[in-house]
Amino acid sequence: MSSSRKENMSYYSIGAVSRLTGITVHTLRVWEQRYSAIEAERTVSGRRKYTSHNVDRLMSLKFLVDRGCQISSIATLSENELKKHLSQYNDKKSMSSLVKNKGKPSVAIYGEYLPIKIKKINNNLNDFTIVFCGADLDSFKADASRIKPDIIILEFPVIDEHILRLVKELHRVTKSRRIIVIYSFARSVDIKRINDDITRTMKAPVTLEEIFNTISLVDSPISNNNETKIEVKSEQPIEFTAPAKRFSRKTLAVLGDISSSIACECPQHLTELVTGLSNFEDYSAECVSQSPKDAELHAYLQSITANCRASMEEALEKVAIAEGINLDELI
């Protein structure tokens, strides 16, 4: 590697790597010194500094360790060998047969925030088999159609016409026993339209315990006297140019899950504020398209919210820099 390229490379301290990967500083040192899992570079003063490649490898190793692999048996695997080990957890056909053999309810999860939290507690999900857990909607739909999971969990900032259509289509092709939709904002009329004997909504924030308590009752029908058919409306939204969003939902999800060294936990609180404002901004935009009568008011709300969101994003960026968190390297 050329010296100029090395100078432009981003490095992480051991504390930053610990926050990013969820691996304690002590464990990081043990994995490096005892098992040679990685070889961190050193600063002039002798402190460890980690590259993005190091972080990716550590996250892969932790993923496998969390699923029962011994670090001593995987620490020195080559990149190709590591990928082979990881691929078995992405083999949906194998997962599908595993579900049938073990008789556990199969669960497919889509969202930005949930997958990150789910992967951290995977060992505690003994009552379920996770067959999909990610943020790629196209892959989710394809896998759900093929595997036909018992339970589907969806996470969206807003319930709108598109989500209503999606839920209806997923139920048609999968015949899932329960669909749970977690949302931040929605009109009451849409909540009534989406809830039925199969589908249940949960307003964020919700804990993982609440979610899995709900799917534990999958065989208990949901009582709902307000079931209505999903009707698709087609109206033209009012155009509005909002300040560009600095952070993707995935970046916010990862950032919000990093343990802060600041006692007041400002990064987490700011992340929650930015996420909430972003969700309400999207919700206001949907209101503009669905309620022409109040279009001017909703356009105003969207504008105000977008500008607030942009200001809070700037604040979040400054706090992240002060924390030593490299936002460009989070995803």
- Domain 91-216 superfamily per CATH: Response regulator (3.40.50.2300)
List, for residues 135-186, the tens digit of each pLDDT value.
788 888 888 888 888 899 999 888 888 899 999 999 999 999 899 999 988 8
CA neighbor of 94 nearest in space, from 147, 148, 150, 149: 147
Q: Are 72 and 35 in contact (CB under 8 A)?
A: yes
| Sequential DSSP letters for 162-199 | HHHHHHHHHHHHH--SEEEEEEEE--HHHHHHH-SSSE
Q: Please give the average per-residue pLDDT across 81-107, as a whole number.
A: 60
List, for residues 28-82, the tens digit of each pLDDT value.
989 999 999 998 888 888 888 888 888 888 988 888 887 778 898 899 999 888 8
In this prediction the pTM is 0.49
Rounded-to-integer distance, Cα 231 and Cα 246, Å? 35
Residue 75 amino acid letter: A
CA dihedral angle for residue 76, residue 82, residue 86, residue 88, rounded to 10 degrees: -100
**Domain segments of the chain: what residues?**
10-84, 91-216, 249-329
Residue 192: exposed, middle, or buried by beta-carbon count in 10 A (0-12, 13-18, 19+)? Answer: middle
Domain 10-84 class, CATH top level: mainly alpha
Tokens for 251? 């970046």
Rounded-to-integer distance, Cα 195 and Cα 229, Å? 10
For 14-27, give one letter per residue: b (16+ CB within 10 A) or e. Answer: bebbbbbbbbeeeb
